[in-house]
Amino acid sequence: MNTDLTTGNTSRLLWAFSIPMLISVAFQQFYNIADSVIAGRFIGEQTLAAVGASYPITMIFMAVAIGSSIGCTVVVSQLFGSKHYAMLKTAVGTICCAGVVVSLALSLFGIWQDDNLLLLLQTPKNIFSDASLYLHIYILGFLFLFLYNVGTGIFTALGDSRTPLYFLIGSSLGNIALDLLFVIAFDMGVAGVAWATFLAQGIACVLALITLFFRLRKLQTTEAHQFFSFAVLGQVTKVAVPSILQQCFVSVGNLFIQSLVNSYGSAVIAGYSGAIKLNTFGVTCMTTLSNGLSSFTAQNLGAGKKDRVQEGFRAGAKMGILVSLPFVLVYFFFSEAAMGLFMKSESAEAIAAGAMFLKIVTPFYFVVSTKVMCDGVLRGGSAMLYFMTTTFTDLVLRVVLAFVFAIGFGLGSTGIWLSWPFGWSISCVLSYLFYRKKPWEKRSYDTL
């Protein structure tokens, strides 16, 4: 099921490669949303707010997993494109070993500091205990989350976007079934939501890693490969660390924003919790296309086919616009109905807050899609400084403007929502200018 992305029609290749990835992320976000729907409708608004209050902290852990996955994808894609299979196997072994160490270290830190992080965010007392319990269980399962994301990144690097889809479908359906069992049948409250995610993610992780190792055994090579290599770890780190920092910049920015949101009470927190899950669904679909474009770019650069990079960007930009269109239409024109998925009609204030967020940010999804496609090419070409610069610009603008609009201009929570379009728009212009510089033309990709 490994796919060579260096030959054939660019647009058809990207669509065929990206559709399974889009379905995967749809299922992933579907069960993330299902968590919040079940929490809000079957337990209550305060439980939804508790899950939402812990969300920016969980996203820091997710940022490390996703950033590491991106680093793995780029390096393994370049090795696969250049047919260096022995080094590819060494890279996978190195990545998995380092991943276990990093994830366990972060888990210990998270368990030690989770309550302090919630206090730092000014989490309201009426939802603090539930938020703490949810966060604690989530952190216990971080090893599975980390290795699953790394495994998915490696499958993608090998041109296989279908296998992760199958695991995601099984994990998503299992997570929803366990949610319903633990929350409704066993009445476990917010702990049931957290344990359902833990178990579903853990099973998917183990099955994905077993499948990956069997897949790698089929790659024939006459050269010996190492189980671990510091040299390879250094190359992966060069891409992974900037990607992790980029993801963490966003997550840390969200911590500041969440602390500001928390100051407006549990109703606004609940509304933001539901709306940000819907927003994450749309944006993640676009970034998934971007990750596919990174693999396409990296494979072609590894094969010395630099002329196909711009073809890939043009095809990816069209895909991004087409994928973002339905989200814009549904979220903008049916925002109240979308928020009604998470809460009952009695939660009018929370529904109104979430609907306002969606109406403000969704028209700018077309801007986001253009930005992430530029980022996808830059990432695939290992131009990480440019990639980080645009993300950091977006982060700083969104955080600063959220406080300026909400407090300085007295716009309240609406002012927080207004900061998103400004950050996206300016960072999009920067990403496109960096893409136009064609930094991939200045270096060789035939070896690590």
Mean pLDDT of the chain: 84
Is residue 311 very low, low, confident or very high in pLDDT (cuts 50, 70, 90)? very high
Residue 403: count other Cβ atoms within 10 Å of its Cβ.
15
Please tell me the distance from the alpha carbon of residue 375 to that of residue 371, in angstroms, as a whole number: 6
How many Cα atoms sit within 13 Å of 335 on the Cβ side?
23
More confident residue, 339 or 124: 339
Sign of the Cα pseudo-torsion (420, 423, 429, 433, in order): negative
Predicted local distance difference test score (pLDDT) of residue 2:
58
Is residue 327 very low, low, confident or very high in pLDDT (cuts 50, 70, 90)? very high
**Cβ proximity of 342 and 265 under 8 Å:** no
Asked if residue 382 has pLDDT above 90, the reply is no
Asked if residue 448 has pLDDT above 60, the reply is no
Predicted local distance difference test score (pLDDT) of residue 444:
62
**What is the average pLDDT across 163-182?**
84
Is residue 78 very low, low, confident or very high in pLDDT (cuts 50, 70, 90)? confident
Asked if residue 364 has pLDDT above 90, the reply is yes
- The first and second tokens of residue 260, run together, are 């500001």
Asked if residue 335 has pLDDT above 90, the reply is yes
Of 135, 142, 147, 165, which is closest to residue 68 (Cα–Cα)? 147
Asked if residue 69 has pLDDT above 60, the reply is yes
Of 282, 292, 355, which is closest to residue 322 (Cα–Cα)? 282
Sign of the Cα pseudo-torsion (329, 332, 337, 339, in order): positive
Please tell me the distance from the alpha carbon of residue 236 to that of residue 239, in angstroms, as a whole number: 6
Predicted local distance difference test score (pLDDT) of residue 445:
56
Dihedral (C-alpha) 274, 395, 333, 292: value to the nearest 10 degrees?
-90
Asked if residue 71 has pLDDT above 90, the reply is no
Which helix (H) or strand (E) is 153 found in, with range?
A: helix 142-157
* Verdict on whether the full-model pTM lies above 0.75: no
Alpha helices in 303-412 (DSSP H): 308-333, 335-339, 348-361, 365-380, 384-403
Please tell me the distance from the alpha carbon of residue 335 to that of residue 110, in angstroms, as a whole number: 35
Predicted local distance difference test score (pLDDT) of residue 110:
84
Q: What single letter denotes the amino acid at residue 252?
A: V
